[in-house]
Every structure is written in C-alpha cells, then in structure tokens.
Chains A and B, each alone.
Chain A
Amino acid sequence: MSKGFFSGLLATLVGLWSFTAISETDGVFDEYRELMGDDNPAIFVIYDGEEIWFTPAGPKSVSLAQCDLGLGPGVVEGAYAQLPRYFSDAQRVQDIEARLEYCMTHLQGRSPDKVRANAYSQRGELGTELEALVAWIADQSSGLTIAPAQAHAKERSAYTLGESLFYYRAGPHDFSCATCHEQTGRRIRLQALPNLTTHQGAAAAYSTWPAYRVSQGIVRTMGWRMRDCMRQQRMPELIMGSEASVALQTYLSVNGAGGSMAAPGLKR
C-alpha cells in the first residue's frame, strides 16, 4: 500500500476523532420528535405497567399496590421525581429499580435472582415487566419537579459516590462518564452529548428517561442507560439497583433537581 493511502487514512482518523461543536440539539431527530407529537409508543407500555402494578404475582400472590415508593404505601403519583432516596426499611438509598426489586421480593415473595435476571429486555424481547412498571411510574411524575431527597447522610454520600464514579477513569479505553459528558455543545456521531455536570444538561437527560428507543422498539430505563454507558466504556457490568447504579443516578438527579420530568421520553 502506498504512503498516500496511509496519510489519507490518518487524515480520516483525525477527522473522525475531532468532535464538531454544534448547538445543543439532536438535529434532525428533533424534527422527528416534533412530528410524532405526543404519539410516543411508550403509551402502550405505560398501560401495561399500570396493569402489572395492580395484578397479583409471586408466591404470595399479591399485587404491588402496597409498595412504598417513598411517599407512602401505594402512592405512585409524584414518587419517581423524588427518587433516588433513602428507605429506612431497606436501610439504603434506592432508585426505582432497586425499590421495585425490594417490593417484588418482600411483598410478593419472589426470588431476587429471578427478578434481576429478567429486568431488562434482551435481544429480541419486546419489553419486560420492570420496564413497563418504570414507564408507568415515571409517567405518574410527568410535569413534576425533579426533587431527589438529600436530607439523609446516605443520600448525600450516594451523591458523592456518584460524582466520583462519574469522573473515575478506568477500563481498556481509560474512559470515564466525564470523557463524553463534561463539556457543552459536543456530539458523538450525530448524537448531541449532554453536559451532565451542568444543571441544564443533567435536567434534560434525567427528565427524559425512561424513554422509548425508536431503534429498539422498547422502553429503556435510566438504570439501563447507566449500564449501557458502562458497557460502552468497556467497564465491568453495572448491576441493576446496585450501590454504583443508584449513586450515578443520584448524581444526575441532584444535578438536574428543579427541572421538570417529561418521561417517558422519545429517543433515537
């Protein structure tokens, strides 16, 4: 191969590497969103979630209707906007996924391993029980202010841990969340990258998850988003509802506090 080929290749690689600054929009995808209006296919999943919430399940054959999401047993409206928070019964800070797992195992008597194994849709699946529940519960906070609790010491330490994880560089690519998400007005391929260290960026991101992913045809949760970002960084698998997953979401929700929930969102 000629030297010209290599220098051409190098130029291409440099071209790919250099991010181009654009305005904080999703470009053509914003038009798509506008076209869809409020016809977000997530509405079907929301109906499913509501149905699942009130359907008896598990060895104890009870529904989740008495599950306490932080505002008292059975109170769903507004609960999502105040998560993650400290739960005295579980003695730890929980996000929606950890909390649902807690209710499924404690109220319904289900095995935690089974709950976790079927949490997120795998290839070819058309949505899980957990994804539907999260979609409905988040929808019940639509339009409300993001207000995660930070009164308890464990809630504050979850934020601090989340912040450290956000900046923690590791893995074969020496990546951290901050590598992509601490600058404003950048993109990767055609995706606008939100600056999650700012209130505006964090609020825009946090308020629109869970979301219907058009490319996957299913609703994905914020916990899944965290796990997939970790996968893209070539980090070890982030476990649903784990201390690390909850901490990262606490970091985002506190940074985005004051923003207005608009989930389930619509994403590429």
Chain B
Amino acid sequence: MASRIRIRAQLKDDYCEVKALMRHPMETGLRKDQSGAAIPANFIEDVQVVHNDAVVMQAYWGAAVSANPFLGVRFKGGAQGDVVKIIWRDNQGDSGSGETTIR
C-alpha cells in the first residue's frame, strides 16, 4: 500500500491550520472478504504532526477511524515557509510521511 499523504498548511489569524488526507485501508480486523476469510487488522496507531522539529500533536488511533482518514489540526507559533510534517505508523509496522511548507 502506497503511503501517500496529501497535506496542506495555511496561516490563519493567529494559528496555522493543517489539513491532511492519508491513504490507508484502516482495516478493523472484523471484516471478512468475499470467501469468508477474516481480513487482518491494519490500521494507523500513531500519528504525529511535526512543526520544524517539534511535535505539535500526537494521536493514538485505532480501528474506529475511517479508511483514508482526514486530519485537521490547528497550532500556534507557525510562520510562513516553516516545514510541517505528518508521520504515521500502523499496527503492521508500516509507516508513511508527508511534508509541506506553511503558506
């Protein structure tokens, strides 16, 4: 599974708004395929939003989050041109990241 992230960071009044769309199946482990076999659980467990080198948000996700999750975060202290990065890791040890600069 390609670990693609679409990420944007925009400066608003006094905060920076980050919007990210992650490509991930987020399998709960409870679904079955057409032949009746269980589909193994595969979901993002850990997401971090990193501003320059500081973690500004960390979340522990589970099977309840939808497929191809959409994340919106606001934080203070960002400036135009700063790097914002999103890193995720799933329960199968796979990981993905994407970065952008604040507009």
Contact = CB atoms under 8 A, between A and B. Distances in A.
Interface stretch (B52-60, B63-71, B83-91): B63-71
Given A39-B19, A41-B21, A217 B33 contact: no
Interface stretch (A57-65, A117-125, A197-205, A243-251): A117-125
Contacts of A39: 6, 19, 21, 70
Contacts of A217: 25-26, 66-68
B4 interface: yes
Interface string A9-41: 000000000000000000000000000110101
Contacts of B33: 122-125
B103 interface: no
B23 interface: yes
Contacts of B70: 36, 39, 41
A46 B78 CA distance: 32
On chain A, which size bracket covers the interface? 10 to 19
A167 interface: no
A230 interface: no
A126 B68 CA distance: 11
Contacts of A43: 6, 21
B76 interface: no
A254 B50 CA distance: 50
Interface of A is mostly: loop
B23 A41 contact: yes
A214 interface: yes
A168 interface: no
A113 to B, nearest CB: 17
Contact of B39 (A36, A37, A44, A124): A124
Contact of A44 (B4, B31, B34, B66): B4
B32 A124 contact: yes
A166 to B, nearest CB: 30
Given A39-B21, A41-B21, A44-B68, A123 B32 contact: yes
Query: Which of B4, B23, B68: most chain A Cβ within 10 A?
Result: B68
Interface string A113-141: 00000000011111000000000000000
B31 A124 contact: yes
Given A43-B6, A123-B32, A123-B34, A214 B25 contact: no
Interface of A: 36-37, 39, 41, 43-44, 47, 122-126, 214, 217
28 contacts: A37-B19, A39-B6, A39-B19, A39-B70, A41-B21, A41-B23, A41-B68, A41-B70, A43-B21, A44-B4, A44-B23, A47-B4, A122-B33, A122-B34, A123-B31, A123-B32, A123-B33, A123-B34, A124-B31, A124-B32, A124-B39, A125-B33, A125-B34, A214-B66, A217-B25, A217-B66, A217-B67, A217-B68
Interface of B: 2, 4, 6, 19, 21, 23, 25-26, 31-34, 39, 66-68, 70
Closest 4 CB pairs of A and B: A217-B67, A124-B33, A41-B68, A122-B34
